[in-house]
Amino acid sequence: MTALTLRRFVRHRMAVASAAILAILGVLTLAAPLVELAMGIGANDIDLLHRFAGPSLAHPLGTDELGRDLFLRLLYGGRISLIVGMATALVAAVIGTTIGLIAGYYGGWLDALLMRLTDGVIALPLLPLLIVLSAVDMSKLGFGDAFLAGDSASVYRMMIIIALVGWTTVARLVRGTTLTLREREYVLAARGMGASGARIMLTHVLPNTVSPITVATTLSVGTIILFESVLSFLGLGIQPPLPSWGNMLNNAQELMNEAPALAFYPGILIFLTVVAFNFLGDGLQDSLDPKAVTQRR
Amino acid sequence: MSRYLVGRLAESLIVLLIMSVVIYTLIGLMPGDPIDIMVQSDPHLTPADAARLKALYGLDKPLLERYANWLEAALSGDFGYSRIQNQPVWTVLAPRLVNSIILMGISFVVSLLIALPIGIYSALKPYGARDYAINFIALGGISIPVFWLALMIIYLFSVRWGVLPASGMQTVGVESVWDKAKYLVLPVITLSAANAGSLTRFMRAAMMETMRQDFIRTARAKGLGRRQVVLKHALRNALIPVVTILALSFGNLFSGALITETVFSYLGMGKLIYDSIIGNDYNVALIALLFATLLTLVSNLLADLCYAWLDPRISYGARQA
């Protein structure tokens, strides 16, 4: 089955190209400290004498408004954006799968309640809601100053906030699949042998929902990166000096005359990454769902 | 049908009520509180004054009680005052709402005019070079960060070519429709481009699904012309899911409008929401957010109704004999 899936996937050229692009981006951003070492400068080294420098040997993409190296900041920014995107998608998938499994397996009032909740979240205007959530003062929620002063506080906050609204698609998909699987003979057999609900859900139902979950999660990474970048752009997401592709565009609008390149690079990288995840999701869908393929040709 | 409608209305009201509690709580969790901000900006206020003011506005009471008081006032039409603009919230909100409707309305129509023909064309000649190109561009439209698209459009049209204004609503001192229209062009381009991608994909998918149906084969078999099959038989059926998705995608359009308005300093609802949250203008933020929620819920309701109205095969609530 996996060989067949792989063969179908390889036929989807855009998806393969996307996977390659993402792999390159991933390796480059992970290797950011090594690149830093090789270039002999730090990503946060401020050099006010060389602000807005053009591309040169020392700075392959030039420098920003504080004279920091743009290329290194892009690598570190990509790290944050990719990690937030993928980790959040995973958290959201776990929440969605749990809710979908419970709703689909137990049915009845629990199902009705959970699905109303899902519909309710889907019906909300997400961006305004995310803006309020990111404006919440964490110290009022009892988080310690030590945690909030740390660099990573804004990263965790982003992940939690976006995961809170991003689980709905997976929940619906998993519920739908669980509803049909619940009536299968092997599930009945397991129940007849006295397996508990949790055991049936985890060992008999969950493995059969892996493909739709994989597709939905891959597709959601793109959306999540878009949400993170816009919140960071608006000054509500990842907080500087920690770079993310979104917050590197914070000052881009005012600096448009002096340095259009500063506005260009972070955005094109977000764009590329999101396109790649979307194509990857499409490719996975076609290769994991055989029915879609037979309809195609 | 009417029973279904009542049920859906009740459901939407409950969601709105729950959201008002959630948003009220969240706004309360934002940094600072109104009186603290007043104290900071006015050195003559003593802590005793502050405590008295808090008591006056009922801010020393527990959350639930404050919410109940707010709800009672809001239901009787009293939304409170804007802290920043010193005007009743409604006076601040109403013109913003009109501006947003103008921006979103025009962009919506423009994106439809782009997406529907292209989507249909793509579906009629699937898997060709043009279909792939269209698909590619549409996916690009979905994947592009709207704020970055706005920045790039500003760079090209205002900085590079200098043909259109980069931000604002009108030239100071000039009062003409033509002048205002010039300021609308770039925001409309941005929002339409962001919106057209997903619409094209939906239209294409719906059209392809319909073209696979048996009745299309029948229509062809009877010897009807391609034009008639596509326009009369296929399109009408393909539009049913598309109309639903149009209404459902209102939330998306609103999110796009928020970003577009913020980047272009266009004074609409979205920018109001952003500014009021950043500026701790609690009353405005609360009402604007609830309004956005209400609009989204209404459009979702419309989607359901359109669906039933357009497709007689679907009957909500009615028991089949």
Q: Is A117 on the interface with B (CB under 8 A)?
A: no
Question: Per residue in A10-46, pLDDT tens?
Answer: 778 888 999 999 999 999 999 888 887 777 777 777 7
CB B248 within 8 A of CB B139: no
Q: Give residue A291's pLDDT.
A: 55
pLDDT level of residue B61 (50, 70, 90 thresholds):
confident
pLDDT level of residue B258 (50, 70, 90 thresholds):
very high
CB A278 within 8 A of CB A222: yes
The residue of A81, A160, A256 whose CB has the most chain B CBs within 10 angstroms, and thus the best one to mutate to test that interface, is: A256
Measure the CA–CA gap between A179 and A156, rounded to whole angstroms: 34
Q: Give residue A146's pLDDT.
A: 66
Mean pLDDT, chain A, whole residue set? 85
Q: Is B265 on the interface with A (CB under 8 A)?
A: no
Closest CA to B170 of B185, B186, B181: B181
Residues 121-140 of B with CB under 8 A from A: 127, 136, 139-140
- Averaged over B101-119, what is the pLDDT? 94
Q: Give residue A1's pLDDT.
A: 54
In this predicted structure, which of A118-127, B105-114, B167-176 has the lowest mean pLDDT?
Answer: B167-176
Question: Per residue in A247-286, pLDDT tens?
Answer: 888 888 888 877 788 889 999 999 999 999 999 998 888 8
CB B271 within 8 A of CB B261: yes
Which residues does chain A have within 8 Å of residue B254's beta carbon, measured at their own beta carbons? 125, 127-128
The residue of A121, A124, A143 whose CB has the most chain B CBs within 10 angstroms, and thus the best one to mutate to test that interface, is: A124
- Averaged over B126-138, what is the pLDDT? 88
More confident residue, A69 or A162: A162
pTM for the structure as a whole: 0.88
Peptide bond connecting A241 to the previous residue in cis, omega within 30 degrees of 0: yes
Question: Per residue in A78-115, pLDDT tens?
Answer: 999 999 999 999 999 999 999 999 999 998 899 989 98
- Tell me which residue in A128, A260, A266 faces B273 most closely, judged by beta carbons: A128
CB A286 within 8 A of CB A8: yes
Say if the Cβ atoms of A256 and B143 lie within 8 Å. no
DSSP class of A289: -
DSSP class of B189: H
- Tell me which residue in B143, B270, B273 faces A222 most closely, judged by beta carbons: B143
Question: Per residue in A213-246, pLDDT tens?
Answer: 999 999 999 999 999 999 999 989 888 888 899 9
Q: Is B19 on the interface with A (CB under 8 A)?
A: yes
CB B142 within 8 A of CB B197: yes
Query: What's the ipTM?
Result: 0.86
Is the pLDDT at B203 greater than 50? The verdict is yes
User: Which residues make beta-bridge pairs with B88?
Assistant: B81
Is the pLDDT at B189 greater than 90? The verdict is yes
Is the pLDDT at B35 greater than 80? The verdict is no
Measure the CA–CA gap between B83 and B99, rounded to whole angstroms: 22
DSSP conformation letters of B271-318? HHHHHHHHTT-HHHHHHHHHHHHHHHHHHHHHHHHHHHHH-TT--SSP
Say if the Cβ atoms of A135 and B146 lie within 8 Å. no
More confident residue, A228 or A135: A228
Say if the Cβ atoms of A275 and B140 lie within 8 Å. yes
- Tell me which residue in B32, B143, B300 faces A271 most closely, judged by beta carbons: B143
Q: Give residue A292's pLDDT.
A: 47
Q: Give residue B54's pLDDT.
A: 73
More confident residue, A291 or B262: B262
User: Which residues make beta-bridge pairs with A69?
Assistant: A63
Burial label for A277, CB within 10 Å (0-12, 13-18, 19+), is buried
In this predicted structure, which of A3-17, A150-164, B93-107, B151-165 has the lowest mean pLDDT?
Answer: A3-17
Q: Rounded to a whole number, what is the distance in angstroms from the first to the last CA of chain B? A: 16
- Nearest chain B Cα distance for residue A185, angstroms: 30
- Tell me which residue in A136, A141, A230 faces B147 most closely, judged by beta carbons: A230
DSSP conformation letters of A89-125? HHHHHHHHHHHHHHHHHH-HHHHHHHHHHHHHHHTS-
Question: Per residue in B20-30, pLDDT tens?
Answer: 898 888 888 87
- Number of CB pairs, chain A paired with chain B, less than 8 A apart: 122
Is the pLDDT at A163 greater than 50? The verdict is yes
pLDDT level of residue A290 (50, 70, 90 thresholds):
low
In this predicted structure, which of B36-50, B218-232, B282-296 has the lowest mean pLDDT?
Answer: B36-50
Is the pLDDT at B141 greater than 50? The verdict is yes
Q: Give residue B250's pLDDT.
A: 84
Mean pLDDT, chain B, whole residue set? 85
The residue of B30, B137, B148, B272 whose CB has the most chain A CBs within 10 angstroms, and thus the best one to mutate to test that interface, is: B148
* Percent of chain B at pLDDT exceeding 90: 26
Is the pLDDT at A50 greater than 80? The verdict is no
Q: Give residue B1's pLDDT.
A: 62
Annotate A240-272 with b (16+ C-beta within 10 A) or e (fewer).
eebbbbbbbbbbbbebbeebbbbbbbbbbbbbe
In this predicted structure, which of A58-72, A174-188, B86-100 has the lowest mean pLDDT?
Answer: A58-72
DSSP class of A201: I
- Averaged over A182-201, what is the pLDDT? 88
Measure the CA–CA gap between A282 and A9, rounded to whole angstroms: 10
Structure tokens at A147: 């945690």
- Tell me which residue in A124, A253, A296 faces B251 most closely, judged by beta carbons: A124
Computed over its alpha carbons, how large is the radius of gyration of chain A? 22
Say if the Cβ atoms of A270 and B140 lie within 8 Å. no
Is the pLDDT at A293 greater than 50? The verdict is no
Q: Give residue A294's pLDDT.
A: 41
pLDDT level of residue B320 (50, 70, 90 thresholds):
very low
Question: Per residue in A138-148, pLDDT tens?
Answer: 777 777 676 76
Is the pLDDT at A296 greater than 50? The verdict is no
